[in-house]
Amino acid sequence: MPSTYTDILQKQQQQPPTGQPTYDKIGGWLILVGIAFIVGPLRIILLVFKDILPAFAPQTWSVLTTPGTEAYHPLWAPILIGELVGNLFFVCLGIVLIVLFFQKRKIFPKLAIFYLLANLVFVVGDTLVAGLIPFVAQQDNSSSMKEIFRSVVGAGVWVPYFLTSKRVKGTFVR
């Protein structure tokens, strides 16, 4: 029996909509969601170290961003900085989502939907803007297309799941 007003409020806030089953454990398709949100930030960190940070080495940065050099283009600096900041944002948000996921917080599904859609916009926008640089446009863009495909499929599968799943509604109730 709740002993204080805050206990009563906390208990009410943890109740799902009437008639909705509750789930004490994360199960079903949510196991895949958990794995994806754990792997996601790790994958982004590897991408940053492998593909983005080397461009910030003084010699490389100078060649890309100094007018008159062969590889110069005015979009290099904003694209590289945008990629670094954007990817760090998604790493931080991914870590927050992992915590919210395991705490089974009510805000998790909405924030996960935001993450998936924002990531899709970021990946498509980054690919389109980077394609304006002739050097990038001439390169094999299969890795960019793979990222866009991954983002489209991820959002296309998980956004409807978060919006309609009874398990989601019954799990994230805190």
User: Would you say residue 14 lies in a domain?
Assistant: no
User: Would you say residue 4 lies in a domain?
Assistant: no
User: Would you say residue 95 lies in a domain?
Assistant: yes
Instruction: Name the DSSP class of 140.
Output: -
Please state the domain count of the chain: 1
Taking the C-alpha atoms of residue 42 and residue 48, their distance in angstroms, rounded to an integer, is 10
Phi then psi for 97, rounded to 5 degrees? -65, -35
User: Would you say residue 154 lies in a domain?
Assistant: yes
pLDDT at residue 139 in the model: 87
User: Would you say residue 6 lies in a domain?
Assistant: no
User: Would you say residue 15 lies in a domain?
Assistant: no
pLDDT digits (tens, 9 = 90+) for 38-92: 999 999 999 999 999 999 999 999 999 999 999 999 999 999 999 999 999 999 9
Domain that holds residue 76: 23-171
pLDDT at residue 19 in the model: 64
Q: What pTM was computed for the model? A: 0.84
pLDDT at residue 154 in the model: 95
Average pLDDT, the chain: 90
pLDDT at residue 24 in the model: 74
pLDDT digits (tens, 9 = 90+) for 115-156: 999 999 999 999 999 999 998 888 888 889 999 999 999 999
User: Would you say residue 130 lies in a domain?
Assistant: yes
Smallest CA-to-CA distance from 44 within 151, 168, 131, 140 is with: 151
pLDDT digits (tens, 9 = 90+) for 22-45: 777 888 899 999 999 999 999 999
Taking the C-alpha atoms of residue 22 and residue 166, their distance in angstroms, rounded to an integer, is 9
User: Would you say residue 110 lies in a domain?
Assistant: yes
User: Quick check: 14 pLDDT over 80?
Assistant: no
Do 15 and 173 contact (CB within 8 A), yes or no?
yes
